[in-house]
Structure 1
Amino acid sequence: MNSRNLTSEAFEFLSKSDEERISYCKQDHWIAYPAANKLIELLEDKFSDPPQMRHEGLLVYGDSNNGKTAILKKMYRLHNANLDYVKYDKECIYEIPIIYFQAPTMPDEGRLYSLILNELFVPHKLTEKIIEKSKLVERHLKKLNTRMILIDEIHSALTGNLNKQRTFINDLKQLSNNLSLTIVLAGTKEAYSALSIGSETESRFPAIELPRWSNDKKFRSFIATYERCLPLKEASNMADDAEIISVLFHKSEGLIGKTVNLLKKAAVKSIKSKREKIIVSDIEYLPKL
């Protein structure tokens, strides 16, 4: 009987070996906390937009390691498995309604187009002229009925020469305009600063900040929910332990990525120690030598 209210998958792992449980604890687990739910809802609303002359995109920004990538990948997983056939020029093909990739490490049009073509599984030469890559990208995005492009780590591409940055962003706008699709960007506060320079760019990519956590009820609720994903044989009841919550919050600095990493490491340590529940001393990034 699942008296501890573990997730069904975590409950199944209780009977497995320590090695299997440790491996499971190290996996990523999606936790639908309020800010993530609101952001997914916003992305879904944009995904369902009908074709229009000027699609409004979105910039999601915030500190590194604070959940932006997890949210974008969740949105991607919700829609990337569309196996419906579509007809295009009498050819039956599978749709690719959404693509996700990390931005190039510089504002380079050629690299941008290559990344898109890679996600669409379109063979091409890296050395091909930019204009030819551009035509190839537009043809296949239209053919595959792509409706949303998710570009992570956009701050990486918004560095260096300002003219190249403007050209890079203008290419994204043009793709959105020509194909009536939505482009969502995610990055750090540096990306927000870079995209806020021009009013037209700022209106095309309205920004929403993913803030750090506060040490409050929402944080404790997240910890309690995450504990349900950990196949430990004893209940840790972390959300009710003020000392554990304080240490978790302090060491994570209010960043969800750091919080999750701490919980993963603590769960592994508790299994290896045979204690089977997390205590304060388990919450550390690296062991003391």
Structure 2
Amino acid sequence: MPDITSDDGAHLTEKTRTYLATPGEDRILNNWKSIWIGHHDAKHVHAKLDMMLKTPPSSRPKNLLVYGESNVGKSTILERWAEAVNQKAAVAAEAEDPETMGDWAVLPVVRVQTPPKGDEGRLYDNILRAMGFPLPISYSASAKCQTVLKLLANNQTKIVMLDEFHNALSGRFDQRLHFNVVIKNLTNEAGIPLVVAGVEAVEMVFNKEDQLHRRFSRIKLEAWRDNDDWRKLLRSFERLIPLKHPSSLAQPEMATTLYEVSSGRIGDLSDVLREAAIRAILSGEERITPDMIQAV
């Protein structure tokens, strides 16, 4: 177990400082997923999702497209919100009287990957697995669809999320058209909105399809700029990376180096900092240096 002095980790949050007792790279690998910074883009998307969650069911629900280049944080933002909402619902359900709960769990948000080529049957399979109710492959797409609709109603699902929606663009033109009809019918029959996330090509396709264009509002996520907000983000990361000594990530040289290697994409920044933090521990330096960043 690492030797911890009273001065070690003074720059960290109270919770992060408790991780310093974990030896070796496990200190980073075991805790990295817990790092979450509620930056302005994340708060904007979450506020929109909170409003959608409260919207009553409708025969023509208003959907949401979250789009942007790869690694700007789309999936993480949606995943964090979905996990928090479902966890809150689970805690509330545990406090209920078991005799009044019924036979179905409450699952407000179902989040799945969009299947390649917009395959209808595989979409239903993904949703059913996410809800813990997989069906044999031999079932028809129609049978799977009806089961999905039943489960969404029984589990009191309010939102379905389709991540990596650009996967659907790999199909032929007729396959893409069919998938558009599938998602339109799914949201209409379930009466709940869809939230889809994908790269910028998805938004271009939506603009060409009148029904998708009118049914989906948009939020675009962009790479960060090298400015005060970027340095504020780096300071937030530094308080959450369990290293004994401060790395001064927001100082001009470090901030510029991190911006250059990540191009301002928060996903790339996170990957670089994770690998550099592991190097910092294994070297005994216990702080991230410019050389460690360049070596990633």
TM score, norm. by length of structure 2: 0.89
Distance in 2 (CA, whole Å) between partners of 1:96 and 1:22 is 31
Preserved CA contact (<8 Å) 1:267 1:277:
yes
Evaluate the alpha carbon distance shift between residue 92 and residue 273 of structure 1 in structure 2; reply closer, same or farther with a 3 A threshold.
same
Distance in 1 (CA, whole Å) between partners of 2:277 and 2:33 is 12
Evaluate the alpha carbon distance shift between residue 172 and residue 57 of structure 1 in structure 2; reply closer, same or farther with a 3 A threshold.
same
Structure 1 partner of 2:187: 176
Q: Secondary structure at the match of 1:231?
A: coil
User: Are 2:210 and 1:204 aligned?
Assistant: no
TM score, norm. by length of structure 1: 0.91
Report deviation, 1:25.
5.8
Preserved CA contact (<8 Å) 1:265 1:285:
no
Structure 2 partner of 1:263: 273
Report deviation, 1:114.
1.0
Evaluate the alpha carbon distance shift between residue 260 and residue 19 of structure 1 in structure 2; reply closer, same or farther with a 3 A threshold.
closer
Preserved CA contact (<8 Å) 2:71 2:265:
yes
Distance in 1 (CA, whole Å) between partners of 2:134 and 2:206 is 32
Structure 2 partner of 1:29: 35
Q: Secondary structure at the match of 1:172?
A: helix
Distance in 2 (CA, whole Å) between partners of 1:123 and 1:188 is 29
Preserved CA contact (<8 Å) 2:248 2:254:
no
Amino acid at match of 1:243: E
Structure 1 partner of 2:18: 12
Q: In structure 1, which of residues 237, 251, 256 is the aligned counterpart of residue 261 of structure 2?
A: 251
Structure 2 unpaired stretches of 5+: 1-5
Report deviation, 1:156.
0.4
Preserved CA contact (<8 Å) 1:230 1:267:
yes
User: Are 2:285 and 1:279 aligned?
Assistant: no
Amino acid at match of 2:280: S
Q: Secondary structure at the match of 2:104?
A: strand
Preserved CA contact (<8 Å) 2:86 2:108:
yes
Structure 1 unpaired stretches of 5+: none
**Structure 1 segment 205-224 matched on structure 2, within 5 A:** 205-224=216-235
Structure 2 partner of 1:109: 120
The ranges of structure 1 where at least 4 consecutive aligned residues each deviate by more than 6 angstroms after the TM superposition are none
Preserved CA contact (<8 Å) 1:86 1:94:
no
User: Are 2:87 and 1:77 aligned?
Assistant: no
Report deviation, 1:24.
4.1
Distance in 2 (CA, whole Å) between partners of 1:160 and 1:18 is 45
Evaluate the alpha carbon distance shift between residue 285 and residue 183 of structure 1 in structure 2; reply closer, same or farther with a 3 A threshold.
farther
Evaluate the alpha carbon distance shift between residue 86 and residue 112 of structure 1 in structure 2; reply closer, same or farther with a 3 A threshold.
farther
Distance in 2 (CA, whole Å) between partners of 1:86 and 1:184 is 32
Preserved CA contact (<8 Å) 2:114 2:168:
yes
**Structure 1 segment 120-269 matched on structure 2, within 5 A:** 120-239=131-250, 241-269=251-279
Preserved CA contact (<8 Å) 2:68 2:221:
yes
Distance in 1 (CA, whole Å) between partners of 2:60 and 2:141 is 24
Structure 1 partner of 2:110: 99
Preserved CA contact (<8 Å) 2:244 2:286:
yes
Amino acid at match of 2:111: Y
Report deviation, 1:27.
3.8
User: What count of residue pairs does the alignment treat as equivalent?
Assistant: 283
Report deviation, 1:8.
2.3
Larger proportion of helix: 2
Distance in 2 (CA, whole Å) between partners of 1:156 and 1:132 is 24
Report deviation, 1:210.
0.3
Percent identity, aligned pairs only, is 29
Distance in 2 (CA, whole Å) between partners of 1:231 and 1:285 is 20
Q: In structure 2, which of residues 46, 54, 57 is the aligned counterpart of residue 51 of structure 1?
A: 57
With 18-27 and 124-133 compared, the bigger mean Cα shift is at: 18-27
